[in-house]
Amino acid sequence: MPLRFESNFVHNGAQPWSGAARGSHVQANAETAALQPLEAGAAAYAPSVPGWIKAIDNAVIGLLNVMLAVEVILVFVGTMVRTFFHSSTLMGIDEASPLFLVTLAFLGGAVAYSRGQFIAITVLADRAPRAWNEAFKACSEWIVIIVSFLIGGYSIPLLIANAEEKTILLGIGYVWMTLPITVGSALFVVRAGFSLAQRRRPAIAAATAVVWAAVLTFFIFQADLGAHTQLLYALLAALFVGTVAIGVPVGFVLATIGIVCVEAIGSADMMAVVMNAQRGSGGFIFLALPFFILAGFIMERADVGGRIVEFVGSVIGHVRGGLLQVMVVGVYLSSCISGSKAADMATVGLPMNRKLQEHGYEPEERAAILAASAAMAESVPPSIALILLGSATAISTGALFIGGVLPAATIGVLLMITVRVRASFADWKLTPRAPRSEIVRTGRRAILPLMIPVILIGGIVGGVGTPTEVSTFAVLYSLALGLVYRKINLRNLWSSLTSASSLNGMIFYTVSAATIFSWALTLEGVTTAIATTIAGFGRTAFLPAVIVITIIMGTMLESFVTIVILAPLLYPVALQLGIDPLQYGIIMTEAFGIGIILPPIGIALYVACAISGAKIERASKPLLWYLPVLLAGLLLVTFVPAITTVLPNWLNFKY
């Protein structure tokens, strides 16, 4: 459940959650922002949104919810049948996964856009005068319309070309793999067009003139751009900065650059762009992502995280700085359950806020340690970043899961030591030691939730299933906990499915767009040039260079976008230099974690501030205590590879 709420990251496209939020970012000091996640079962629409748009959205969400539930059941049953009955009866299930994922990406993405749940960086746009801000949003909507029209339009010839093709085992027509792109793109055009029409006329006129003048200029100088690569690179860089600055959703920024690059160099046609968008949705291994996200939503409903935090607090809350150390341990353990940093932060941060405030911890202190803990836990399985990293490279996802346990724990211990040192100088009240009866009581309440990581890791290590297959265990186990705790009923289960479908739609559309971007740059040779340059640094400097690059990219883009672009690019270089691939993957993942908490853009820092009721400017100061510790811990893991590799090697994982 990453990206549930962002301060300065407006949920773009249509109107955000409510009329009051329109045209502005979520305030970092409004704790209620943390209680209005995008995964609310029924997203709030602005009053101007007509009923027919809501009806279409609801129909699409209903379809996606059913498909998600069926996929979970099929993969789980298939795993059980294969494991216990040694039968391959359901071996064709993986052929259905591309159909589900491409439907999720384009139809789910369209609904997420319609509900204002796409992520866009609006730090600059929100500080512009109102008239300019309105024009920026109109430009953004024009870009969504043009990109969607191109992808949807060129999906029709692909649709016709696939008319006779079918999968081998299940006989699923490839038409069905392409049709969601066509329909979803049409929904994007309709929704962005409606939103554009609601803007003020001067803003519409200005945006129309600017966008179409830019399009016309591009076609006039298209041949020159193809012949002068330096000019093309300058244009792509300017386009990236400009579209990001005016608040275009990140997915459409990447798709725009990819399309411009392909059209300028003329090395491929738009049908190839559509095919890469389709490929970017992924295959069977990508199913772990929507499954773990669904499991996280169900666990949140079941109050799984709250029980864990309560237990950890009773055990270590009495030590000096103990309540902040509860945050560190709590985020680590929560990360073993949901895989989503925003969810983990909310799970731990929200119930801890009042207690921390009572004991004299300032909001900015709470936000800083919460953000630092989220960065630390980026490599804790079942991290979404690890799932995508395993999908984007040849590294075993199971090995990444096992390999990420100790590096995150090492950095977590360093954070806890730092908190203890700070507590010696700060005026933080001590918490009374919990009686043994309280520890026993909270331990009993937490024992079933704490079994979740044991089941996940045990299932992978024991060979019961792949991470994708084991992710279905997480869904069903969390559902069982919700029923046992009487927290789950049909209504909020449907709401959890709705939340997961909508969020997954945004993520998978953005990943598809990132695939277009990466593929286009590869055609132009940009990725080869980057890889060659970094390879020239040599073995010793390679991983530090990876850390610097990924931290910088992490400050601007979400980890799932950066992974799709960067991980497969540098992976061959790591192998060429003799770098352990598992070490490469874990270092990159932890570096992403640091990048997403760096001010002024780091997403996770804004999330932490929203949860803790802190101002971003004030939270940045205590964060300076923890950033050097995170970097020191990451360098320790970098230069002591055994921290990463000892567990996978001991468990005989091949990667």
> Who contacts 399 (Cβ-Cβ below 8 Å, separation ≥6)?
582, 648, 653, 654, 655
Which is it for the CA torsion 335, 310, 298, 75, positive or negative?
positive
Tell me the two tokens of residue 193.
Answer: 């067009």
Alpha-carbon span 224 to 386, nearest angstrom: 41
Alpha-carbon span 259 to 215, nearest angstrom: 12
pLDDT along the chain (655 residues), means of 10: 34 31 31 36 61 90 95 89 71 80 94 86 80 93 96 93 80 88 96 93 94 93 83 90 90 93 86 90 78 88 85 86 88 80 78 79 89 92 86 88 94 94 79 88 91 85 81 91 91 92 90 90 81 88 93 78 86 92 95 86 81 84 92 96 94 80
Q: Are 531 and 356 in contact (CB under 8 A)?
A: no
**């937490």: which residue's tokens?**
446
Residue 87's pLDDT is 65
**């990943």: which residue's tokens?**
511
Question: φ, ψ for residue 418 (rounded to 5)?
Answer: -65, -40
The answer to pTM > 0.75 is yes
Alpha-carbon span 157 to 167, nearest angstrom: 19
- Distances, alpha carbon 21 to alpha carbons 9, 37, 195, 292, 454, in Å: 12, 13, 15, 29, 41
Residue 9's pLDDT is 33
Closest CA to 147 of 279, 13, 15: 13
Collapse the DSSP code of 227 into the 3-class scheme (helix H, G, I; strand E, B; otherwise coil) and give the result: helix
Residue 443's pLDDT is 92
Residue 6's pLDDT is 33
Residue 424's pLDDT is 80
